[in-house]
Structure 1
Amino acid sequence: MTDMRTLSLHLLAGLVAAVAPAIVAPSMALAAPSGPVTLDSTIKLDKVVTENGQSRHELVAPQKVVPGNHLVFETTYHNTGKQGVDHFVVTNPVPAAVALETDATDAFDVSVDGGKTWGKLSELKVTGPNGAGRAAQAADVTHVRWVLPAIAPGATGTLDYHAVVR
């Protein structure tokens, strides 16, 4: 049984040249999981392509990003073992230079305090500069987390979150 695994987006390091340096937080070191579940992360730019008057979204490797660009952070997991894995947790930091998009924030748990507490975005509160509490917003999110109840032997899946460059 696996209690908890944490993945930091290791592709951020390779993206430094293409993305504003502020997107890469110095504390984001790869936490390599041990055990039968492998994790692989990618970051894609959600590019709108218009051909023959038709617009469509295309996910591409980012060469350069600017404020307002939409990014998709994906983590693929694969159980290479011969036994199922229970209660597998994947935690990804949200780089400070991006803000989580609000569309799917109920699909996973989030933290607005660096990973100390977790919940659905609609349930969390933050303290404003004046000391007063307010409802947390997508821009306050510091981490996202998925709890997978079980991963069968040989199973593969993808987890993702969408963010916009600040």
Structure 2
Amino acid sequence: MKSLTVFILLLCAFYSVNGQSSSSNYTQKMPFPARELSFNGFRNPSIGLEYRYKRFSMHGGYYPTIISTSENGKGETTSFLRAGVSYFFLPIYSPTHAPSSFYLSASYVRGLDQEWKAKNGLLAEIGFKWVVWKGLNLRLGVAMLSGNGSKVKINPTPGISYSIYLK
């Protein structure tokens, strides 16, 4: 958790130095694409699809995470169906591709197994979406999962996706 906090602070510092620059590299900034469709291949926001319009997105899919431990102390994967919305802010502009940015997300989850089987929950998340190259994206976030009768769980939420920009 400490390393994620340091990472986020470093990104904020980078943004404050480079995001406001008037150098020629940043005069032709790529804005958020008007419309984007992402194919999410690993966990964040889910293994599924995400549609973004400017700074807002909707997502849905399968979400596996380790939130419980077995009797022998090993983590067990709990599976969910996840659907929600995200808001992207503090963009770090690039002259060649869509900007990387921080995001906030709120989702409804429905448990598929373990102690969450057939239970509903809410998942709130904050993180950073890094546009590595063209449509390749990496995400790192922290999520808080809560549900009726269950303890609140805090988990890291890494992800990888590929986006296509729609006209």
* TM-score over 0.5 (shorter chain): no
Give 1 or 2: higher strand fraction: 2
Richer in helix (by share): 2
Larger RCO (CA within 8 A; separation ≥ 6): 1
TM-score, with normalisation over the residues of structure 2?
A: 0.27
The TM-score, its normalising length taken from structure 1, stands at: 0.27
